[in-house]
């Protein structure tokens, strides 16, 4: 009798309990997805801001140092370098603002032009030709690689030459950035920029390899 009585009470409640459990599960799942998306966005934002500011600050440093050397012998050239520094500073501010709102993607042509100007200011001879036609996502990823690799060349390598090679092959696309500087030390830990770059490349299904040359360093990305 009691079993029948309890059953008459509990059985109708089972669908209600299941419904509540499903609602709670859905709420927790949605919260976890939101936290995951936010974490990924923060990671992406940190990587983008590092790339943009690192490149721009390096360019400004190189140009102001060049302006200081030219100040007495060629004031007009020194002034031109300082004006370029101001432009780079303003562009960096604009880029970071855009990055915060929509994680703006760079374009390969613009990055190659910037790389050429930065290398020239650092008295490093640039060697590269216009890139082949590439899929949009490949071109955007290569743009990030060019920015980070060239910035590292200017900052750390002491190189005299930097060569950028971009190839579109049947099996995919390949980018190489090579310099004839001091070379990356064996076993050296990757910095924030290269770590973020590797994550971008691997997320796109590609590989990133950094190797020591004699002399110099090679950064190679294959997609």
Q: What is the pLDDT of residues 167-221, one digit of tens each?
A: 988 888 999 999 998 877 655 555 566 777 888 888 888 899 988 888 889 999 9
- Residue 128 sits at the vertex; the CA angle it makes with 52 and 152, to the nearest 5 degrees, is 35
Burial zone of 111 (CB within 10 Å; 0-12 exposed, 13-18 middle, 19+ buried): buried
**How far apart, in whole angstroms, are the C-alpha atoms of residue 33 and residue 168?**
37
Q: Give the contacts of 153 (CB within 8 A, at least 6 positions apart).
A: 119, 124, 159, 162, 177, 179, 181, 217
H helices then E strands: how many in the chain? 5, 5
Helix (H, G, I), strand (E, B) or coil at 168: strand
Q: In 10 A of CB 9, how many CB atoms?
A: 8
The pair of structure tokens assigned to 33 is 């997805």
State pLDDT tens for residues 110-144.
889 888 888 888 888 999 988 888 888 889 889 98
State pLDDT tens for residues 150-180.
988 888 888 899 999 999 888 889 999 999 9
In this predicted structure, the answer to whether residue 16 has a pLDDT above a threshold of 70 is no
Is the CA virtual torsion 171, 128, 202, 95 positive or negative? negative
In this predicted structure, the answer to whether residue 5 has a pLDDT above a threshold of 50 is no
**How far apart, in whole angstroms, are the C-alpha atoms of residue 56 and residue 151?**
9
The pair of structure tokens assigned to 178 is 């090579």
pLDDT on residue 37: 45
State pLDDT tens for residues 65-88.
888 888 888 888 888 888 888 888
| Average model confidence (pLDDT) across the chain | 77
Portion of the chain with pLDDT greater than 70, in percent: 68
> Are the C-beta atoms of residues 146 and 118 closer than 8 Å to each other?
no
Name the one residue in this structure whose structure tokens are 């140009």.
63
- Residue 181 sits at the vertex; the CA angle it makes with 176 and 182, to the nearest 5 degrees, is 120
The CA dihedral of 92, 93, 94, 99, to the nearest 10 degrees, is: 80
**How far apart, in whole angstroms, are the C-alpha atoms of residue 145 and residue 136?**
14
Q: How far apart are the first and last CA of the chain?
A: 72
> Are the C-beta atoms of residues 62 and 154 closer than 8 Å to each other?
yes
- Residue 15 sits at the vertex; the CA angle it makes with 12 and 21, to the nearest 5 degrees, is 135
């Amino acid at each position: 009798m009691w079993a029948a009585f309890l059953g008459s009470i509990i059985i109708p409640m089972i669908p209600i309990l299941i419904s509540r459990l499903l609602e709670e599960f859905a709420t927790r799942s949605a919260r976890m997805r939101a936290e995951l998306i936010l974490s990924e966005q923060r990671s992406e934002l940190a990587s983008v801001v590092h790339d943009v500011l690192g490149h721009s600050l390096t360019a400004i440093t190189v140009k102001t140092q060049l302006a200081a050397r030219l100040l007495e012998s060629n004031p007009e050239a020194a002034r031109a370098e300082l004006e370029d520094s101001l432009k780079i500073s303003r562009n960096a501010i604009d880029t970071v603002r855009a990055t915060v709102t929509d994680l703006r993607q760079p374009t390969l042509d613009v990055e190659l032009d910037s790389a050429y100007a930065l290398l020239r200011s650092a008295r490093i001879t640039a060697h590269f030709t216009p890139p082949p036609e590439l899929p949009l996502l490949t071109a955007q990823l290569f743009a990030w690689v060019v920015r980070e690799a060239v910035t590292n060349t200017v900052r750390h390598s002491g190189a005299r030459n930097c060569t950028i090679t971009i190839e579109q092959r049947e099996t995919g696309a390949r980018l190489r950035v090579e310099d004839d500087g001091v070379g990356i030390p064996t076993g050296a830990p990757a910095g924030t920029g290269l770590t973020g770059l590797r994550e971008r490349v691997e997320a796109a299904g590609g590989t990133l390899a950094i190797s020591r040359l004699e002399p110099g360093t090679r950064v190679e990305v294959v997609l």
